[in-house]
């Protein structure tokens, strides 16, 4: 009896050892089949600077991690609209976003609205002095207390204004219902020219313009063109009054929990995607404006020197009015970096 049981124990042990070895042999294959998935949600079309850079990042992340990370990009508000995507990131339902800088104040980081201030940047080089310098890095750090890690700033471009009537003089804005993003600075900007700002999610803008819920809007040409807003807006004014760009952000807990070598590879992929994005943003916007013009559906107007001066005069006080919300020191630090 004891002899039999000894034999059966030995047999069981052998079976166990064999199955453990088989499991171990399978492990690499199992890992290869289940990469770490990063869901990257955004609200614009694929054929925009942000859309293209997200695709670029996904491809580069796959290459640099040798397939250990799979970035799934969900464009065009497919998964979430503006407000919902921020909540989804914090809850961990998605891991990565690139919201416009105008959409961060509801998280409690009002400083990001500094990017919305009219005429705060003259051009991309002014902007890059801030986003790539100490001021930009300090702003990204502010997100950590919200459970978010800021990885990079991505560009879009300088905004144009649109409506179904010509927008030349400041008075032309009086009483117009203008769609804006959820930013108090943009609200103040529209009110400063007598317009009535209305916050709407990006995915709702085309329909709101089409049905007359709002009369007009502002955005860089790349967004306007790819959402076909020009089909429902007869006039576009190249006003270059403000900038629209992005912060690429991840859920901090997810990011910190990644193996160090994977995080390093993803950092490199993000760096490459950011370089790529910076190289295409301005050109994409120039081409989009050309394409809008070519449709013949929308008249493009460029402000004369005199109109530009009046326009600046009307909007510039917003910088001062918003000091108490955004911080006088931050605004002067941005102005200082931009002036370098
Ligand atoms: C908008 O809502 O107008 C923009 O933020 C969309 C975007 O992400 O470029």
The minimum-distance atom of ligand 1 relative to the CA of 156 is 9
More confident residue, 10 or 308: 308
What pLDDT is recorded for position 9?
A: 46
Is 2:10 a contact under the CB 8 Å cutoff?
Answer: no
Give, to the nearest 10 degrees, the angle between helix 124-131 and helix 328-339. 120
* Ligand 1 pocket, Cβ-based, cut-off 6 angstroms: 43-44, 100, 156, 181, 202, 219, 223
Closest CA to 288 of 304, 300, 276: 300
Residue 100 DSSP code = B
Closest CA to 186 of 121, 249, 241, 123: 241
| Residues forming a β-bridge with 73 | 40
37: left (phi over 0), alpha (psi -120 to 50) or beta: beta
Q: What mean pLDDT is predicted for residues 134-144?
A: 96
What pLDDT is recorded for position 33?
A: 61
Q: Return mean pLDDT, the chain.
A: 92
User: Per the confidence metrics, is the pTM higher than 0.75?
Assistant: yes
Calculate the CA dihedral of residues 145, 148, 152, 158 and round it to 10 degrees: -90
Q: Please, which pLDDT band fits residue 154 given cuts at 50, 70 and 90?
A: very high
What pLDDT is recorded for position 49?
A: 98
Rounded to the nearest angstrom, the distance between the alpha carbon of 202 and the centre of ligand 1 is: 6
Q: What mean pLDDT is predicted for residues 142-163?
A: 97
Percent of the chain with pLDDT over 70: 90
Rounded to the nearest angstrom, the distance between the alpha carbon of 22 and the centre of ligand 1 is: 51
**Is the confidence at residue 13, as pLDDT, over 80?**
no
Which of 41, 42, 44 gets mutated to test ligand 1 (max ligand atoms within 8 A of its CB)?
44
Alpha carbons 148 and 95: distance in angstroms, whole number: 10
**Is the confidence at residue 12, as pLDDT, over 80?**
no
Q: Please, which pLDDT band fits residue 71 given cuts at 50, 70 and 90?
A: very high
More confident residue, 315 or 240: 315
Q: What mean pLDDT is predicted for residues 251-271?
A: 98
Nearest CA to ligand 1 atom 1: 202
Is 339:198 a contact under the CB 8 Å cutoff?
Answer: no
Q: Please, which pLDDT band fits residue 19 given cuts at 50, 70 and 90?
A: low
The minimum-distance atom of ligand 1 relative to the CA of 42 is 8
User: How many CB atoms sit inside 10 A of residue 76's CB?
Assistant: 17
Q: What mean pLDDT is predicted for residues 40-55?
A: 98
Is 155:127 a contact under the CB 8 Å cutoff?
Answer: yes
Q: Please, which pLDDT band fits residue 269 given cuts at 50, 70 and 90?
A: very high
């Amino acid at each position: 009896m004891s002899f039999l049981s000894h034999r059966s124990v030995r047999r069981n042990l052998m079976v166990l050892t064999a199955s453990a070895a088989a499991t171990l042999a399978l492990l690499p294959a199992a890992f290869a089949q289940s990469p770490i998935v990063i869901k990257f949600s955004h609200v614009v079309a694929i054929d925009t600077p942000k859309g293209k850079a997200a695709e670029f990042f996904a491809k580069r992340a796959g290459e640099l991690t040798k397939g250990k990370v799979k970035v799934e990009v969900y464009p065009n508000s497919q998964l979430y609209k503006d407000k919902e995507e921020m909540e989804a990131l914090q809850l961990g339902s998605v891991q990565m976003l690139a919201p416009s800088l105008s959409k961060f104040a509801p998280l409690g980081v009002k400083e990001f609205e500094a990017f919305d201030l009219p005429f705060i940047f003259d051009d991309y080089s002014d902007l890059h002095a801030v986003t790539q310098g100490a001021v930009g890095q300090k702003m990204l750090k502010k997100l950590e207390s919200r459970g978010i890690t800021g990885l990079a700033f991505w560009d879009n471009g300088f905004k144009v204004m649109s409506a179904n009537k010509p927008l030349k003089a400041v008075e032309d804005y009086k009483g117009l219902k203008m769609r804006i993003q959820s930013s108090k600075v943009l609200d103040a900007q529209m009110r400063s020219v007598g317009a009535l700002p209305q916050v709407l999610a990006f995915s709702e803008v085309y329909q709101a313009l089409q049905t007359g819920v709002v009369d007009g809007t502002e955005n860089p040409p790349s967004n306007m063109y790819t959402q076909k807003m020009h089909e429902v807006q007869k006039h576009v004014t190249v006003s270059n009054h403000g900038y629209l760009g992005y912060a690429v952000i991840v859920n901090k807990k997810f990011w910190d929990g990644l193996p160090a070598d994977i995080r390093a590879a993803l950092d490199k992929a993000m760096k490459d995607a950011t370089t790529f994005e910076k190289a295409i943003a301005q050109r994409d916007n120039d081409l989009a404006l050309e394409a809008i013009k070519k449709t013949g559906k929308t008249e493009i107007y460029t402000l004369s020197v005199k109109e530009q001066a009046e326009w600046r005069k009307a909007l510039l006080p917003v910088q001062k009015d918003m000091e108490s919300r955004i911080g006088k020191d931050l605004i002067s630090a941005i102005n200082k970096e931009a002036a370098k």
